[in-house]
């Protein structure tokens, strides 16, 4: 897994194109070959350095042969040539931990004293984490466990770590770090909460957009594109988890639109305010039921005066975020 990740990290700036051209036989063979070369190298090598060196050598040879077999004007020639050159830069460092450390550092600044430093655990999955689907190239998932300290557990399907899945890793880590690591909700867990899985997910997406250029400028375009595609897969209205994501995210957008239209705030300022409110609410130690009620009310067609008053106070003064969570709407 490390070797495969190291090679994909080296290809970061071309992951989007490799995924886009995956139906072309040569690109498809290059991606499949990556899995085979990684398995062969892992079986033969003594240490991480040797694993990565062997994968890179085998894969570059494979890609060179594929390029030679292509016609001069084949559309996939350029992307394979670029990938061949980039692969040489692969180093035997853990790319998963590197991404995790950077996302975690950025999230820690949001939560300041409320931040609980997490650790990353990698696990292999023998099956795709969701129903296998040709339109779901994201063979990974993540969750948060608490064993004294928070543990972000990222599970990766053995054959599922391709260009798209690697590009989606930052969004997965941002979701866990922003939404769950420092969440205070009386120890409750609920993966159908509109607050925890939807409203907070919107904030995680927002932060990923602004953090990614600094975290890894090469990976940034593919990471943002695949964050969006991965999210679209997860936001299915017919499942309770997907529906919660949709409604919570919609509530965040509704609140941002309200700040723009009713409070005449510039769009970007409105988004930062919503993202900040999400962080403040997440740090309030209140049952999820109350946070879910608040988020559901944000989707209302009209905001009543009491709600506007509490909302304004929470947006103006971070110390008052808990008041709006405990409001009595009726």
Partner 1 sequence: MERLRILTAAVALSEFTVAELCAYSGANESTVRSVLQRDSELLERLDSQEQSGAGRPRGRYRVRDTASIRHELRQFEQNIEMLGAARLEQLPPETTDDRLAALIVAEDTVVRAWDADADGHTRRALAETALESAAQANPPGQGSSATDDELRARAASVSVLADLALRETTLSASDLARANDSLSRLVDVLAPDRLQRLLAAFGRAVAGPRATAPPSTVDLPDDAIYTTAEVEKVAIDIRDRHQVMALA
Binding site for partner 1 (CB under 8 A): 106-107, 109-110, 112, 190, 192, 194, 207, 209-214, 237-240, 242-244, 246-247, 250, 253-254, 257, 260-261, 265-269, 272-273, 275-276, 287, 289-290, 292-293, 296-297, 299-301, 316, 329-330
In the complex with partner 1, which residue's Cβ is closer, 4 or 231?
Answer: 231
In the complex with partner 1, which residue's Cβ is closer, 7 or 185?
Answer: 185
We find the least distance from the C-beta atom of residue 67 to partner 1, in angstroms, to be 37
244 and 198 in contact (C-beta within 8 Å)? yes
In the complex with partner 1, which residue's Cβ is closer, 101 or 159?
Answer: 101
We find the least distance from the C-beta atom of residue 250 to partner 1, in angstroms, to be 6
260 and 270 in contact (C-beta within 8 Å)? yes
We find the least distance from the C-beta atom of residue 244 to partner 1, in angstroms, to be 6
Helix (H, G, I), strand (E, B) or coil at 57: helix
Q: Sign (positive/negative) of CA torsion 293, 233, 157, 79?
A: negative
Token couple for 236:
């299915």
Beta bridge partners of 141: 155
Distance between CA atoms of residues 67 and 278, nearest Å: 49
Distance between CA atoms of residues 269 and 218, nearest Å: 27
Axis crossing angle, helix 267-282 with helix 240-261, rounded to the nearest 10: 130
In the complex with partner 1, which residue's Cβ is closer, 2 or 177?
Answer: 177
Query: Which residue's entry shows tokens 């996939």?
Result: 76
We find the least distance from the C-beta atom of residue 137 to partner 1, in angstroms, to be 23
We find the least distance from the C-beta atom of residue 26 to partner 1, in angstroms, to be 37
169 and 96 in contact (C-beta within 8 Å)? yes
In the complex with partner 1, which residue's Cβ is closer, 18 or 235?
Answer: 235
Distance between CA atoms of residues 259 and 263, nearest Å: 5
In the complex with partner 1, which residue's Cβ is closer, 18 or 315?
Answer: 315
We find the least distance from the C-beta atom of residue 268 to partner 1, in angstroms, to be 5
């Amino acid at each position: 897994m490390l070797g495969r990740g190291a090679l994909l990290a080296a290809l970061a700036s071309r992951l989007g194109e490799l995924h886009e051209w995956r139906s072309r036989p040569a690109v498809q063979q290059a991606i499949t070959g990556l899995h085979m070369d990684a398995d062969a190298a892992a079986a033969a090598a003594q240490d991480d350095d040797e694993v990565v060196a062997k994968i890179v050598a085998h894969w570059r040879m494979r890609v060179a042969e594929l390029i030679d077999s292509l016609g001069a004007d084949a559309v996939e020639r350029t992307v394979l040539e670029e990938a061949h050159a980039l692969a040489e830069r692969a180093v035997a460092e853990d790319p998963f931990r590197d991404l995790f450390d950077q996302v975690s550092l950025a999230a820690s600044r949001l939560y300041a004293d409320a931040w609980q430093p997490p650790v990353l655990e990698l696990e292999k999955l023998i099956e795709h984490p969701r129903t296998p689907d040709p339109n779901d190239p994201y063979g990974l998932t993540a969750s948060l466990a608490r064993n004294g300290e928070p543990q972000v557990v990222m599970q990766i399907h053995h054959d599922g770590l391709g260009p798209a899945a690697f590009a989606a890793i930052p969004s997965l880590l941002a979701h866990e770090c922003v939404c769950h690591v420092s969440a205070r909700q009386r120890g409750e867990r609920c993966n159908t909460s509109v607050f925890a899985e939807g409203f907070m997910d919107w904030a995680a997406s927002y932060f990923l957009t602004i953090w990614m250029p600094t975290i890894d400028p090469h990976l940034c375009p593919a990471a943002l594109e695949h964050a969006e595609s991965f999210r679209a897969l997860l936001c299915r209205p017919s499942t309770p988890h997907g529906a919660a994501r949709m409604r919570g995210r919609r509530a965040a957008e509704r609140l941002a639109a309200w700040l723009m239209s009713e409070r005449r705030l510039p769009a970007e300022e409105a988004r930062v305010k919503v993202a900040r409110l999400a962080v403040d609410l997440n740090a309030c130690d209140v049952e999820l039921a109350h946070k879910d009620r608040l988020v559901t009310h944000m989707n209302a067609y009209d905001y009543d005066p009491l709600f506007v008053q509490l909302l304004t106070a929470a947006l103006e003064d971070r110390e008052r975020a808990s008041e709006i969570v405990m409001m009595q709407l009726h």
